[in-house]
Amino acid sequence: MNCEGCQENLSLFLDGELEETQAANIRTHLSLCAECAKLCEDFASILDSCKLEELADEAPALNTNALWCRISNTIEAEIKPEPKLESEPEPRGIFSRVWNLSFSQAAAGVAGIALISSLLTVVGIRNYFQPAADDFTSRSGDTQTTFEKLLSKVGLTDTPNAARQKRLMEQQAAIDYWNQRVQARRAMWDDNLRRGFDRNLQAIDQAVFEYKQTLEQNPEDELSGEMLDSVMNEKMNLLREFSEL
């Protein structure tokens, strides 16, 4: 085969469309002729680059398919129930679907709920008959309900005395605050107002002293507790109002 014949069939050779005998002749010529071999290499590289561009054009289509495939898989995975592990034992008992409780645990739970309900009912009935005016801060231990006593014993609530002390401390803190403001302003008042204020404060302090003394002797004295609370509030209001003048 000469060079002319080889170059005419070179394209068909590269596409693999020649008969085997013709292709063998071209291969022999290419191994002998450097010029035709170079031309063949150029053609081959052009064809390769064309094939790569075709693949690149086809890539989005391939990615879209892959994307849809992944979406479909995700949806299927969410819809499908979790496969059960064979090693996990099948739950049993009346609360088997919610809690894994044995019969004895369930029975103990029911008994506990019944006990709490009974206690709440008793407390509700007792409180219903209790006078509404009773304030916990001014109540004595005598008027505490059994449930309240129980709660205070275990430290969940304050005893009436502890609650009273706590409230007194809060009131005293407020009184100290307003008193500071009053002391800063009282120099501006006229004598008449200052004297009236002092007399009134003295009367309140006397009452506070008396109630505290009574409560020291009898901490259970409900009325003194209530009156002490009331008179402390009065002191607080007196100081607050005069701090504005």
Partner 1 sequence: MIRSLDIRDGFTRSLRRIAIVTACVGFLCALMPIEAAAQRRFSRTYPASQNVRLQLLNRTGTVTVEGWNRNEVSISAYLEAPAANIEPQSLSGTIYINLVKDNQGRAEVGSVNFVIRVPFTSSVDIETKMGNLSVTNVRGGLVRAHITTEGDITLTNIGSTAVSAQNGIGDIFFDGTIQPGGNYRFFSINGTISLRIPQSSSFKLVATAPSTRNISLGTFLGENMRYVSDGRRVAGTSGDGTATLSVTNQRGNIQFIRR
Contact footprint for partner 1 (CB under 8 A): 133, 188, 190, 192-193, 196-197, 199-200, 203-204, 206-207, 210-211, 221-224, 227, 230-231, 234, 237-238, 241-242, 244-245
3-class DSSP assignment, residue 163 = helix
Kindly state the smallest distance separating residue 167's Cβ from partner 1, in Å.
18
Output 79 or 133, the one with its CB closest to partner 1. 133
Q: Locate tokens 């044995």: which residue?
A: 102
The count of C-alpha atoms lying within 13 angstroms of the C-alpha of 128, restricted to the half-sphere facing its C-beta, is 6
Output 10 or 227, the one with its CB closest to partner 1. 227
Kindly state the smallest distance separating residue 193's Cβ from partner 1, in Å.
6
Kindly state the smallest distance separating residue 242's Cβ from partner 1, in Å.
7
Output 89 or 131, the one with its CB closest to partner 1. 131
Q: Is the dihedral of CA 130, 131, 136, 142 positive or negative?
A: negative
Q: What letter does residue 130 receive in the DSSP assignment?
A: S
Kindly state the smallest distance separating residue 181's Cβ from partner 1, in Å.
14
Kindly state the smallest distance separating residue 196's Cβ from partner 1, in Å.
5
What span, in angstroms and rounded, lies between the C-alpha atoms of 208 and 231?
7
What span, in angstroms and rounded, lies between the C-alpha atoms of 2 and 121?
116
Query: Do residues 137 and 167 touch, judged by C-beta distance below 8 A?
Result: yes
Q: Residues near 222 by Cβ (< 8 Å), separated by ≥ 6? A: 138, 139, 140, 142, 143
Counted residue by residue, the chain has a size of 245
Output 53 or 244, the one with its CB closest to partner 1. 244
